[in-house]
């Protein structure tokens, strides 16, 4: 059997298939459908310092081959996560990555340092790219100085693998990627959602309570693929590809573009077993192309 | 309850009026246990503009024939596509989802349905009848053609109808029906499904008479299983997912649903 294992800094994934934050709950929502342990790892939904109710309803608008969301980081805060959610992870043996967000640098630091103390959390993904909160989130990820400031501050308190999740809503995602690499990131993951909007013409009103929201799903795949390719050529640290991946072919494309691993997001909503189908398809591709080690595919685009 | 991802074969597709269809679906493996008020997420194949599944409450269940029925209203491309399915076609469904209605025993119960809100009430009524309840069913619609299959429910109990134009049953809003003036005080539990405005108005009356009222909400969903947090409703305990904490809620749990003053309502859609 071919080798599927990949490394993201100190993180050893048994295969490159992970799930994107906010699309996979805390893993247990999918236990009925798949063996969650079969995945390389999963990224649990964002945790902030304090409890957040998130944005008002409506939070979702379906769009051609995708959807807009405006959830707004609803979660019960880091202390609840540590006390109530974290113990449930004992049943999983794969890599669990915590997505960390907040409105202030101090908030990010406090959440990250508490995550650092949890042995079963093997990495954090710094969310500086959520488009659905008024303060923090994307505001940190759209300028180099603020991206550097939050990455540096978290780096000081976090000594396991630090992944920074990048926003596509910038002029040059490569510049931000290079900035966070310089600031101490061990890997970057991209892309978070693209800022978008939906209007109900009959009512002359926005569909989302927040007017704008984050676009995800197959609709954004070509944009994500292009950004992963650009960033992977620019940085030395591993890149994790995210954006509309719903088939094994999509996943392979991201690996060829330079991603060392991928995250399946919105596809989990349509097919809760999507990750397992993708994993099976990657195996089939490797057999068909007689590839023994998946690492041969990473950045293997022929130009 | 364990959730399943299963293929069903369409065995019947009955048009009920201009935009409602009753789909009969036979499970290709054993039909999982379902409780009234729970829902399913149906994948829509062959409709490129439909990316997400569509949620429907379960209309009828028959374990002997391994079938269930879904009552669907065509409101867009996804639902129209489902309404055009032909017998023999396979449909991929996630089920059962959410929390159903609490089931009374040996009580006087009132079931109120507006428009396609009658969808979960068939299954509910059949289970309530098995538990020896005395059932009154009140169905409302804008016109007679919006009142779906009223005669079919008489097997469960007394069926009352109101239409806004008076073309069937009493004229007016469902909450204006004379049952609410004369007989509602004898009811132990109200079960309600329909447009939010109608459900709010029914829950206000129930609250006035101190009758527990269970409502089935229908918020826009992406996943249907508590992963995306899109379908939230504001409750007295904060945001809750309609898909996993509901879709059935006691109306008193919902923020802004408690009534100081009685309000009118319209059964639109």
In a domain, A301, yes or no: no
pTM of the model as a whole: 0.94
The minimum CA-CA distance between A282 and chain B, rounded to whole Å, is: 22
Tell me whether residue A130 is one of the annotated catalytic residues.
yes
Give me the residue from B5, B49, B220 closest to A60, CB to CB: B220
Tokens found for residue B190: 């109200």
> What is the pLDDT, as a whole number, of residue A263?
98
Query: What is the rounded average pLDDT for all residues in chain A?
Result: 96
In a domain, A280, yes or no: yes
CATH number of the domain that residue A209 is part of: 3.20.20.70
What domain count does chain A have? Answer: 1
> What is the pLDDT, as a whole number, of residue B269?
36
In a domain, A1, yes or no: no
> What is the pLDDT, as a whole number, of residue B267?
44
Q: Which residues pair with A197 in a beta bridge?
A: A212
B259 in A contact zone (CB under 8 Å): no
ipTM score for this prediction: 0.93
Q: What single DSSP character describes residue B55?
A: E
- The count of C-alpha atoms lying within 13 angstroms of the C-alpha of A180, restricted to the half-sphere facing its C-beta, is 34
The minimum CA-CA distance between B234 and chain A, rounded to whole Å, is: 8
CB < 8 Å from A in window 169-208 of B: none
Q: Do B239 and A63 touch (CB under 8 A)?
A: no
In a domain, A135, yes or no: yes
Q: Which residues pair with B157 in a beta bridge?
A: B135
Cis amide bond preceding B219, omega within 30: no
The minimum CA-CA distance between B178 and chain A, rounded to whole Å, is: 34
Model confidence at A268, in pLDDT bands (50, 70, 90)?
Answer: very high
B231 in A contact zone (CB under 8 Å): yes
In a domain, A266, yes or no: yes
The minimum CA-CA distance between A207 and chain B, rounded to whole Å, is: 11
Tokens found for residue A180: 């966070």
> What is the pLDDT, as a whole number, of residue B182?
84
The Cβ of residue A187 has, within 10 Å, a number of other Cβ atoms equal to: 25
Residues of chain A in contact with residue B231, where contact means CB-CB under 8 angstroms, are 57, 59-60
Q: Do B232 and A74 touch (CB under 8 A)?
A: yes
Residues of chain B in contact with residue A221, where contact means CB-CB under 8 angstroms, are none
Per the CB < 8 A criterion, the answer to whether A39 and A15 are in contact is yes
DSSP string, chain A: --B--EEETTEEESSSEEE-TTSSTTSGGGTTTS-GGGSSEEEEEEE-SS-B--PPSP-EEEETTEEEE-----B--HHHIIIIIGGGGGG--SEEEEEE--SSHHHHHHHHHHHHT-TT--EEEEE---TT-SSSTHHHHSSHHHHHHHHHHHHHH--SEEEEEPPS-SS-HHHHHHHHHHTT-SEEEE--PEEEE-EETTTTEESSTTSEEEEESGGGHHHHHHHHHHHHHH-SS-EEEESS--SHHHHHHHHHHT-SEEEE-THHHH-TTHHHHHHHHHHHHHHHTT-SBGGGTTT----
Per-residue pLDDT of chain B (269 residues), as tens digits, is 899 999 999 999 999 999 999 999 999 999 999 999 999 999 999 998 899 999 999 999 999 999 999 999 999 999 999 999 999 999 999 999 999 999 999 999 999 999 899 999 999 999 999 999 999 999 999 999 999 988 899 999 999 999 999 999 999 999 999 999 888 889 999 999 999 999 999 999 999 999 999 999 999 999 999 999 999 999 999 999 999 999 999 999 999 888 654 444 444 43
B129 in A contact zone (CB under 8 Å): no
B43 in A contact zone (CB under 8 Å): yes
pLDDT, tens only, A74-131: 999 999 999 999 999 999 999 999 999 999 999 999 999 999 999 999 999 999 988 7
Per the CB < 8 A criterion, the answer to whether A298 and A6 are in contact is yes
Q: Do B220 and A58 touch (CB under 8 A)?
A: yes
In a domain, A54, yes or no: yes
Using a CB–CB cut-off of 8 Å, the residues of A that contact B are: 22-25, 29-30, 32-33, 45, 53-54, 56-67, 69, 71, 74, 217-218, 266, 268-273
In a domain, A303, yes or no: no
Domains located in chain B, CATH noted: 4-97 (2.40.30.10), 108-253 (3.40.50.80)
Q: Do B48 and A64 touch (CB under 8 A)?
A: yes
In a domain, A247, yes or no: yes
The Cβ of residue B235 has, within 10 Å, a number of other Cβ atoms equal to: 18
B5 in A contact zone (CB under 8 Å): yes
Which residues, at least 6 apart from A302, have a Cβ–Cβ distance to it below 8 Å?
none
């Amino acid at each position: 059997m071919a080798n599927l294992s990949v490394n993201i800094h100190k993180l050893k994934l048994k295969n490159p298939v992970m799930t994107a934050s906010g699309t996979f709950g805390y893993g247990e929502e999918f236990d009925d459908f798949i063996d969650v342990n079969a995945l390389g790892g999963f990224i649990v939904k964002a945790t902030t310092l304090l409890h957040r109710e998130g944005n008002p309803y409506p939070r979702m608008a379906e769009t051609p081959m995708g959807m807009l969301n405006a959830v707004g980081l609803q979660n019960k805060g880091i202390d609840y996560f540590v006390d109530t959610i974290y113990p449930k992870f004992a049943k999983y043996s794969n890599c669990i990555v915590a997505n960390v967000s907040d409105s202030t640098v101090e908030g990010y630091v406090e959440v990250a340092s508490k995550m650092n103390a949890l042995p079963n959390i093997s990495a954090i993904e710094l969310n500086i790219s959520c488009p659905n909160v008024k303060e923090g989130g994307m505001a940190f990820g759209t300028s180099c100085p603020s991206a550097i400031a939050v990455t540096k501050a978290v780096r000081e308190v976090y000594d396991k693998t630090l992944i920074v999740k990048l926003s596509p809503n910038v002029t040059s995602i490569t510049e931000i990627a290079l900035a966070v690499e310089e600031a101490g990131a061990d890997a970057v993951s991209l892309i978070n959602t693209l800022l978008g909007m939906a209007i109900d013409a009959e009512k002359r009103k926005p569909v989302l309570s927040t007017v704008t929201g984050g676009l995800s799903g197959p609709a954004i795949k070509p944009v994500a693929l292009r950004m992963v390719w650009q960033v992977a050529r620019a940085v030395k640290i591993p890149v994790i590809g995210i954006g509309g991946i719903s088939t094994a072919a999509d996943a392979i494309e991201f690996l060829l573009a330079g991603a060392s691993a991928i995250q399946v997001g919105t596809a989990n909503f349509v097919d809760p077993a999507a990750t397992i189908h993708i994993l099976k398809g990657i195996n089939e591709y490797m057999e068909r192309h007689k590839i023994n080690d998946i690492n041969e595919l990473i950045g293997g685009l022929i130009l | 309850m364990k959730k399943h991802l299963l293929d069903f074969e369409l065995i019947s597709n009955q048009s009920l009026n201009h935009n409602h269809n009753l789909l009969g679906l036979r499970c290709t493996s054993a039909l999982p246990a379902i409780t009234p008020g729970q829902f399913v997420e149906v994948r829509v194949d062959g409709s490129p503009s439909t990316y997400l599944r569509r949620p429907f409450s379960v209309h009828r269940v028959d374990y002997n024939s391994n079938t269930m029925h879904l009552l669907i209203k065509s409101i867009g491309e996804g639902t129209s596509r489902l309404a055009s399915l032909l017998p023999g076609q396979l449909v991929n469904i996630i089920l059962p989802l959410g929390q159903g209605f609490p089931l009374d025993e040996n009580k006087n119960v009132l079931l109120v349905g507006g428009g396609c809100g009658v969808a979960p009430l068939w299954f509910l009524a059949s289970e309530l009848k098995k538990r020896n309840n005395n059932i009154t069913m009140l169905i409302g619609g804008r016109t007679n053609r919006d009142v779906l299959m009223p005669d079919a429910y008489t097997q469960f109990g007394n069926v009352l109808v109101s239409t806004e134009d008076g073309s069937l049953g009493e004229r007016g809003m469902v909450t204006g029906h004379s049952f609410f003036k004369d007989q509602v005080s004898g009811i132990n539990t109200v079960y309600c499904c329909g447009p939010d405005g109608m459900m709010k108005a029914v829950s206000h009356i129930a609250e006035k008479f101190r009758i527990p009222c269970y409502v089935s909400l229908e918020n826009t969903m992406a996943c249907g299983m508590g992963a995306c947090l899109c379908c939230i409703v504001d409750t007295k305990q904060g945001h809750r997912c309609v898909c996993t904490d509901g879709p059935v809620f006691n109306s008193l749990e919902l923020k802004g649903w408690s009534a100081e003053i009685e309000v009118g309502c319209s059964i639109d859609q």
